[in-house]
Structure 1
Amino acid sequence: MAASPGARPRVLLPAAPLVVLALLLSALVARPGTAHAAAGPVTDPIPERPAASGIGLTVEEYASFPKTEPPPGPVTDPRLRRHARINYLGELPDRSGRKAVPDLNGKLYLVEDGGTPQVYLDVAAAFSPAFFASRGLGQGFGFVTFDPGFKRNGRFYTVHTELASATTAVPDFRQSAATVYHGIVTEWTADDPSADTFSGTRREILRIGFAGTIHGIQQIDFNPTAGPHDRDRGLLYLAVGDGGQGVRNTEPQNLSLPHGKILRIDPRGSDSANGRYGIPAGNPFTGRPGALGEIYAYGMRDPHRFSWDPGGSHRMYLGHIGQHAVESVYEVRAGDNLGWSEREGAFVFDKTATNPCEQILPLPEDDAKFGYTYPVAAYDHDPPADWNCTSDVGRAVVGGFVYRGRDLPALRGKYVFGDIVDGRLLFADTKDMRRGGKELAQLYDLMLYDASGKRVTLRDLAGNTRVDLHFGRDADGELYLLSKANGKVWKVTGTRKFASCDTGGSRLTHVMDGRNWAPVTPSKWRFPGREAVLAEAGVQRPGPRRPFEYAVLTAGPEYGDVRIDAEVRLDTPVEITNRDVIIVFGYQSDTRFSYVHLSSDNTVYPHNGIFVVDDADRVRVEDQWNGRTGAPPAVTDTGWHEVRVVRCASTGEIAVYADGSKRPLMTAVDTTLTSGRVGFGSFDNIGRLRGLEVSSP
């Protein structure tokens, strides 16, 4: 029976192996798709959700770009009506401090610290009237990258789209279906590389025909970690999508076409079929009959953003946008086959299924023989319970960067990325992103603070529910966030620990004597000396929906900023799935207090979260609840568990830690009750508390 927010059913299940919290919050989560017992479709591909990191990024507005419109129009998709369709920031490799920002609507801007963006080159005007940006989210002036020797040679490269019907040019490659638009890579040579507006020449490098208006050439870039004598120096990588040709499109597996591939070419060579670029001898398919030598890796749907780790072994990471289920990050190496459209992430993709809810299947037992490369990190779409499977939930990964800068030591060695649509910021530790392993790296959520110290979201900063998030990085490795919604760029200037207020100065201990406690029902409690024991389950009382039975600590003052440390144990049998104990804080009366609910279950509204009772039914306030599940279950056995609750009154920040973890299990911001007493209890279970310490300034 499904539980509603106002109901609390008691469900008995057969005994099962216990899963301790430490495992749930470990750095690795089980790789999906490897459980062969399930014969049917997989409805929840990646049950593990990103965990709270307790790390917040502080951002300051860096630049604001002028409003633009997609030429030539008309525009029918409201997602193209952005303030400015900026989608990347990168510093020119000439030590000038100038940063390049392309706008899909056609302008290439340069911006310096504290300056106003200036138009360096009008790409749309240069290719008018064929230039096309009014259909498809990636159409227009898609990307720019500068030759490592730009300061000396003035060369840089762009990718843009043209409407096939508006040009007489013939693509070098095309899909089997009728060509709708062309993706063109152009080499530009500046007469004066130090000038702030472009003057010079251009030549076309490569032209690819696409049969759809999405999933074109997403990114072109040089490997910035390649040294002067490295074989990779000066070679240009191109992320080419599948043209949006649907789930039955097999072209990403076809090595005679560039679609659904990452290509690697030598823009200064001439041994390609069109004679305008070279094919590196070290490419994995060079010289293979029937295969394009340009291909570096294949089997991709929408290879959106890639980057190289400036440290370690300089691994290449790709953010790959999925179909309806899985958003993935891959470590890409030469010759890799990511599997699309036979695979989505680490799952079989059933192209024959007519119901999108039934397209994701477990991997077969003999999967190794196919040689597919699977993600090192991933998250799924977590659709709402009433989702009908035919519509887009609104999830799309945007690849980011491994941070190796100096200003954010808490993120050093972490791959920072996010979701294009809702603007969530995520990271994974590169030490946990292991190719070919049985685990995915654990993902962590990042919080966000503005320059005043106020906690915000990117939706707040962008002023829109659709953020259109992208990332940038400067020559020092520092990070930038971009939004098309309002055409702004923010620089990440620092990190801060969530709920980091000072709780030192005073510590209350040795309070387990019964004289220090005021229970709701004294007869249900025992205070044998070192423990507070709720020996008999509580029952629901009149008034707002709230915990049935608890005891308030009467010793000490009411607390504002406070840290509560204790050990808790649930004495209710583990066969009961909705067991719980609670930690009370901010207690002002029986109908006004906050509490942390520590439960064996995280799948219904009343369980395993942070709640406020304010003369009304308790309201859930923590960040982890998504409408279907919350934080990992906090207490799954009958052992003792360490719990720490930190509440900062001035900011309303609340963090809950378990079993010595340095990362919070739950986080919330709530300023309803800024001070009060602490306590312990449950709804209708039995349990106990020991080792209570209350710290406050």
Structure 2
Amino acid sequence: MKKLLILPSVCLALVFSCSQKKQEFGLEISTDASQILKGKALFEQNCSTCHNFNEDAIGPNLSGLTRQVETSWIREFIKNPQQAIDAKDPRALELLAKYKTPMPGFPQLGEEIEAILSYLHTFETLPLEISGDTTSNLIPEKIQDSGIRLEVELFAQLPASDTMPPLAKMTKMEPIPGTERLMINDQRIGIYEIVNQEPILYLNVLEKRPAMVSKPGWATGVGSFAFHPEFESNGLFYTAHTEPGGTQVSDFGFTDSLKVFMQWVLTEWKAEDPKAKVFKGTDREILRIDNSSQAHGMQELTFNPNSKKGDSDFGLLYIGYGDGGTAEKRFAAISNHQGAGIYSSIIRIDPLGTDGKNGKYGIPKINPFAGVPGKAGEIVAYGFRNPNRIFWDSKGQLFATDIGQHSIEEINKIEPGKFYGWPIREGRFRINPFGSFRALYPLGEDDAKAGVTYPLIQLEHDETVAVIGGYFIPSGKLQGKFVFGDIPSGRLFFADLSQPNPEVQTWGVTFEGKEISMKALVNNDRVDLKFGIDGKGNVFIMSKAEGKVYKLRL
């Protein structure tokens, strides 16, 4: 239940200050013990990434909520928050103004909402208003529109893997190296090949891995994939997927006092015939990592597309792994590890090696901490909350996008062994991982002592709330520019990453000759934006809402 009931305490004060008679709310909510236990499990599965009962986080502190707001309003808001926003409901508009993006509706929960209400009702204390909220207008300069509009045309559509949006959960579309075979994932199913603009199921991961789960959360399921640069000869490719916590013994974990909610699993697949349209072959598990929530796990798998055989990183697998939600659960040391752990890191392994922790992968000698006592040899760089895209420019410079907590989104220029700040920095601001995540502070005079490498680009949440990286445009009006966007709204940006202080501007699209917003294009207020590229360098924009892929006319 991502961003469930984003209702701040200040909003409660505004709404109820005009009432002359004190009202009692929640009298109809069940206090049955079994109902409460069921609600607790549902809350932990669907809501806990964004909400707690101590303070505002991605969503608000929910303590005392059911005793301050009508039960019927809460229930209907869970089912369809957009309806409340469209109706100009004062509470809903307060939420949107404070948290920047609407939550999705959850009509599928049905009667289970009653159990969640029962659990919420066990928290009686009304939260105190947060002091020191400094997360507004941190970056006064606003992003300007370039006036550039590119025509898009419908290229392909994945089969619906659910009956309600998002109809298909793609995160990546890229070619098999050295070929024009175009592969795309659906997080709920596996990997498709696009043949003559039609999807053909290449690998059904769910069938091969029945323990796989693709909910709750936007990023669960088959999160990413990568084909080995010599796939045509060796048949090797890799997937990352999620399974419930405790499914098997993990290779990397954390303290017993923090619950393992999910596990991310890295699998190597070997095709008997690399030219076959449907996978047939063998597989082996390479790596299993515990995650404390459904968020910020193994979001990216990739090989350096510029690397040639004989280069030092040829055939080495790059993995983006976030903090697993541990910082927000007040276990900051798990991500603030000073290079000793693999959470909140970009790691690089040799999938064909054997000197890794479990003997199923190798640690490349070129890694900055390889062989260094007390350090994780897998690490390339660390200090990221959610490094969801790793990419290179034509000169071989490595970059990564990083989704922030409540205030700042980042694009980082990656240097080996560097620390990029999380969880003690968000963008170029200080954050206290044991205090309020809504409070950011200026850097101190002694900031250099922290050893932080700061982002090349930082964007405030009034511009974008969840950054997703795209690709460098090969020709046309945006030639040489890197395009990226905001996942929920679909807002489109570009920048010249070769500059020391890149200017970010927006661009837009036209469809059938007419300018159109991304929300209108995909017929949904949540775009769930992703990007793709084919073997010829054509760039695509994709939306999970309807499972459609659009080609940019450059």
TM-score by length of structure 2 reads: 0.73
Q: 1:442 aligns with which of 474, 497, 503?
A: 503
Q: Which residue of 2 aligns with 1:127?
A: 209
Q: 1:258 aligns with which of 338, 342, 356?
A: 342
Q: Which residue of 1 aligns with 2:138?
A: 45
* Alpha-carbon distance in 1 for matches of 2:293, 2:498: 38
Please tell me the residue identity of whatever aligns with 2:487.
I
Label 1:362 to 1:42 Cα distance change in 2 as closer, same or farther (>3 A). farther
Q: Which residue of 1 aligns with 2:410?
A: 328
Q: Which residue of 2 aligns with 1:218?
A: 299
Q: Which residue of 1 aligns with 2:278?
A: 197
Deviations 1:168-221 (A, max 9, x none): x21100122222211011111101111100000101111111121111100011
Is 1:417 matched up with 2:484? yes
* Alpha-carbon distance in 2 for matches of 1:150, 1:351: 43
- 3-state SS in 2 of match to 1:184: strand
Q: Shift in Å at residue 41 of structure 1?
A: 3.8
Q: Shift in Å at residue 286 of structure 1?
A: 1.0
- 3-state SS in 2 of match to 1:410: helix
Q: Is the 8 A contact 2:178 2:535 kept in 1?
A: no
* Alpha-carbon distance in 2 for matches of 1:58, 1:46: 31
Deviations 1:432-458 (A, max 9, x none): 2x2xxxxx42110011111x2110121
RMSD between aligned residues: 1.8
How do residues 284-433 of structure 1 correspond to structure 2 at under 5 angstroms?
Answer: 284-309=368-393, 311=394, 313-354=395-436, 356-357=437-438, 359-382=439-462, 395-403=465-473, 405=474, 408-432=475-499
Deviations 1:10-46 (A, max 9, x none): xxxxxxxxxxxxxxxxxxxxxxxxxxxxx99463222
* Alpha-carbon distance in 2 for matches of 1:175, 1:366: 31
The structure with the largest alpha-carbon Rg is: 1
Q: Which residue of 2 aligns with 1:516?
A: none
- 3-state SS in 2 of match to 1:250: helix
* Alpha-carbon distance in 1 for matches of 2:389, 2:168: 19
Instruction: Identify, as 1 or 2, the structure richer in strand.
Output: 1
Please tell me the residue identity of whatever aligns with 2:297.
G
How do residues 214-613 of structure 1 correspond to structure 2 at under 5 angstroms?
Answer: 214-247=295-328, 248=330, 249-254=332-337, 255-309=339-393, 311=394, 313-354=395-436, 356-357=437-438, 359-382=439-462, 395-403=465-473, 405=474, 408-432=475-499, 434=500, 440-450=501-511, 452-494=512-554
Q: Is the 8 A contact 1:40 1:361 kept in 2?
A: no
- How many residues were matched structurally? 418
Q: Which residue of 2 aligns with 1:92?
A: 176
Q: Is the 8 A contact 2:233 2:274 kept in 1?
A: yes
Instruction: Identify, as 1 or 2, the structure richer in helix.
Output: 2
Deviates more, 1:336-345 or 1:41-50: 41-50
How do residues 120-159 of structure 1 correspond to structure 2 at under 5 angstroms?
Answer: 120-128=202-210, 130-159=211-240
* Alpha-carbon distance in 1 for matches of 2:150, 2:333: 41
Identity %: 39
Q: Is the 8 A contact 2:408 2:458 kept in 1?
A: yes
Q: Which residue of 2 aligns with 1:597?
A: none
- 3-state SS in 1 of match to 2:150: strand
Q: Which residue of 2 aligns with 1:648?
A: none
Q: Shift in Å at residue 487 of structure 1?
A: 0.1
* Alpha-carbon distance in 2 for matches of 1:353, 1:119: 47
Q: Shift in Å at residue 480 of structure 1?
A: 0.7
Q: Shift in Å at residue 94 of structure 1?
A: 4.0
Q: Is the 8 A contact 2:522 2:546 kept in 1?
A: yes
Q: 2:249 aligns with which of 131, 152, 170?
A: 170
* Unaligned ranges ≥5, structure 2: 1-131
Q: Is the 8 A contact 2:157 2:548 kept in 1?
A: yes
Q: Which residue of 1 aligns with 2:154?
A: 61
Q: Shift in Å at residue 107 of structure 1?
A: 2.3
* Alpha-carbon distance in 1 for matches of 2:293, 2:445: 35
* Unaligned ranges ≥5, structure 1: 1-38, 71-77, 384-393, 435-439, 495-697
* Alpha-carbon distance in 2 for matches of 1:346, 1:317: 17
* Alpha-carbon distance in 2 for matches of 1:184, 1:363: 38
* Alpha-carbon distance in 2 for matches of 1:48, 1:261: 30
Q: Is the 8 A contact 1:49 1:379 kept in 2?
A: no
Q: Shift in Å at residue 92 of structure 1?
A: 1.1
Q: Is the 8 A contact 1:45 1:326 kept in 2?
A: no
